[in-house]
Amino acid sequence: MERQVILNEKHLELTLKRLSHELIESHLDFSQTVLVGLQPRGIHLVSHLKATLEKILKKPVTCGNLDITFFRDDFRRRERPLIPSITNLNFSIENKKVVLVDDVLYTGRTIRSGLDALMTFGRPSKVELLVLIDRRFQRDLPIQADYVGKAVDTLISERVSVEWKETVVLFTKE
Amino acid sequence: MTNISVDHLTGIKDLTKEDIELIFKTADSFKEVINRPIKKVPSLRDITIANIFFENSTRTRLSFELAEKRLSADVVNFSASGSSVKKGETLIDTVNNILSMKVDMVVMRHSSPGAAEFLSKKVNARIINAGDGTHEHPTQALLDAYSIREKLGKVAGKKVVIVGDILHSRVALSNIYCLQKLGAEVMVCGPTTLIPKYIHELGVHVSHNLVEALEWCDVANMLRIQLERQDIKFFPSLREYTMLFGLNKEILNSLSKEIVVMHPGPINRGVEITSDVADSKQSIILQQVENGVAIRMAVIYLLAAKIER
């Protein structure tokens, strides 16, 4: 397996800062905006973003986790049933601006499920998408991100993974 | 461990401890789902489930139907009264006819012990036992244990007494299997005539004194006297049964610690349990009903994953 680092620790810190500033540009003080991380891997990115945003804004930012297992379109197409993670949305999303957060945008199917799952909690006024890595030209569905950490061109045979180790991130290609 | 070990849920006896824990973990997620503004997920939208009830039921049937609909499955209902069973059709014929209409899963209640097990070997569909005579009622036992876990934090090490008509109760047998697999201690309590002769072989304690049993336990599961299954007299009168084995507020208050009171329903108020106990803070009867939907969603979800496409 060949590993290739796409973003190292230093780049990641810069990228998180840039994404935070981009978010602030359109959401100002976050009084009407919430961040929702998609389980299982989007939640790490949310906690990093939350920390960065709160440092800049000097006020708390509302964040939640959303599990999309039951909304996936590949139930019974896999060997094993998908075991759900925890959903933690202790606030109303009614008329709020929601930023969905995930680590890698690939086929767009997870985001499609995420949108459906999100709507069961109410009617947000606007939904945007933030991803750390965008695997361009690999979409199965017409879904694009509003905020992108880094866009990469990959082959289907390759795998992109985010390994959160004390804020060190390695992206590996195999 | 992400897959349940059985293809059908005919009884708790066939489940492993890991299966039960997997069902509980999945039920946790479904419990969160059914408390959302929109209580529905699309997981089972390509699955059809038949609820076949040869015996009366309110709670179980409603609970299964709600669970199925909240998973977006298509549901057909069938009850023996008003069906061709009355015209002499056999069980296998009835079920096979229903399955010809492309049904993937069958939830069945039947008065004969072993009916679900029998069916699972004869027809090509996933079978869930919703009660087979005096044998097992697995989803009830799962939701009872799940409710204990929710109320007391865990099941292992807890002491549970099952009071009442143990002889005719499928809830009692399934509960004993389930609680023991999860590491709880079980006692049964009731008149000698209503305790099965070989109950000791299941490794449970036996008591014929209600107060003594309640002093021992953390949780008391009060069962109904199943008069419809009793063709002979097992005790002189209901009044006498109530005096000896009925739970009332006086007894509850006289105990040295606060116990949890459960009842699988339907309640005969004033017989096995008085109204003030059934409606008290210590009773988790309505939580049991709520958990029933989540548990049944989990069981259906996990078994549906095993249906071949």
Which of B43, B301, B302, B308 should be substituted to probe chain A, the one whose Cβ sees the most A Cβ atoms within 10 Å? B43
Closest approach of B179 to chain A, Cα-based (Å) = 24
For residue range B108-121, what is the model confidence (pLDDT) as tens digits? 999 999 999 999 99
Closest approach of B76 to chain A, Cα-based (Å) = 21
Residues composing chain A: 174
Report the percentage of chain A scoring pLDDT > 70. 92
pTM: 0.89
For residue range B227-243, what is the model confidence (pLDDT) as tens digits? 888 777 888 888 999 99
The reply to whether omega before A60 is within 30° of 0 (cis) is no
B224 catalytic residue (yes or no): no
> B238 and B119: one domain?
no
> B173 and B275: one domain?
yes
Alpha carbon A170 to its chain centroid, in Å, reads: 17
Could you give the number of structural domains in chain B? 2
Phi-psi region of B191 (alpha: psi -120 to 50; beta: other; left: phi over 0): beta
The one-character DSSP state at A74 is: -
> B206 and B221: one domain?
yes
Contact of A70 with chain B, judged by CB distance below 8 Å, is answered with: yes
> B111 and B191: one domain?
no
Closest approach of B295 to chain A, Cα-based (Å) = 14
List the single residue in B2, B36, B46 with the smallest CB-CB distance to A81.
B2
Chain A environment of B39 (Cβ under 8 Å): 120
CATH of the domain at B183: 3.40.50.1370
Q: How far apart are CA A62 and CA B57, in angstroms?
A: 45
Q: One of B60, B134, B139, B274 is an active-site residue; which one?
A: B60
Q: How far apart are CA A148 and CA B279, in angstroms?
A: 55
Closest approach of B137 to chain A, Cα-based (Å) = 24
Chain B environment of A81 (Cβ under 8 Å): 2-4, 301-302, 305-306
Chain B environment of A87 (Cβ under 8 Å): 29, 32
Structure-token pair, residue B43: 């997981």
Report the percentage of chain B scoring pLDDT > 70. 98
Tell which residue, B29, B98, B33, B21, has the closest CA to residue B69. B33
Q: How far apart are CA B247 and CA B245, in angstroms?
A: 6
Q: How far apart are CA B148 and CA B141, in angstroms?
A: 11
For residue range A97-135, what is the model confidence (pLDDT) as tens digits? 999 999 999 999 999 999 999 999 999 999 999 999 999
The pLDDT of B167-173, averaged and rounded, is: 93
B2 catalytic residue (yes or no): no
β-partners of residue A126 are A97
Quote the mean pLDDT of chain A.
Answer: 87
Chain A residue with the nearest C-alpha to that of B297 = A70
Q: How far apart are CA A127 and CA A157, in angstroms?
A: 31
For residue range B254-265, what is the model confidence (pLDDT) as tens digits? 999 999 999 998
Q: What is the pLDDT of residue B82?
A: 64
Helices B285-304 and B17-33: angle between axes, nearest 10 degrees: 110
Residue A68 forms part of a structural domain: yes
| Residues in CB range of B257: below 8 A, 6 or more apart | none
Residue A166 forms part of a structural domain: no
> B131 and B149: one domain?
no
> B65 and B113: one domain?
yes
Q: What is the pLDDT of residue B83?
A: 67
Report the percentage of chain B scoring pLDDT > 90. 75
Which band of pLDDT confidence, cut at 50, 70 and 90, is reported for residue A54? Answer: very high
B25 catalytic residue (yes or no): no
Residue A47 forms part of a structural domain: yes
Residues composing chain B: 309
β-partners of residue A162 are A171
**CA Rg value for chain B:** 19
Give whichever of A70-74, A78-82, A168-172, B69-73 has the largest mean pLDDT. Answer: B69-73
Contact present, A102 and A114 (Cβ < 8 Å)? yes
CATH of the domain at A69: 3.40.50.2020
Domain that holds residue B67: 12-137+290-304
pLDDT exceeds cutoff 90 at B78 = no
Residue B275 forms part of a structural domain: yes
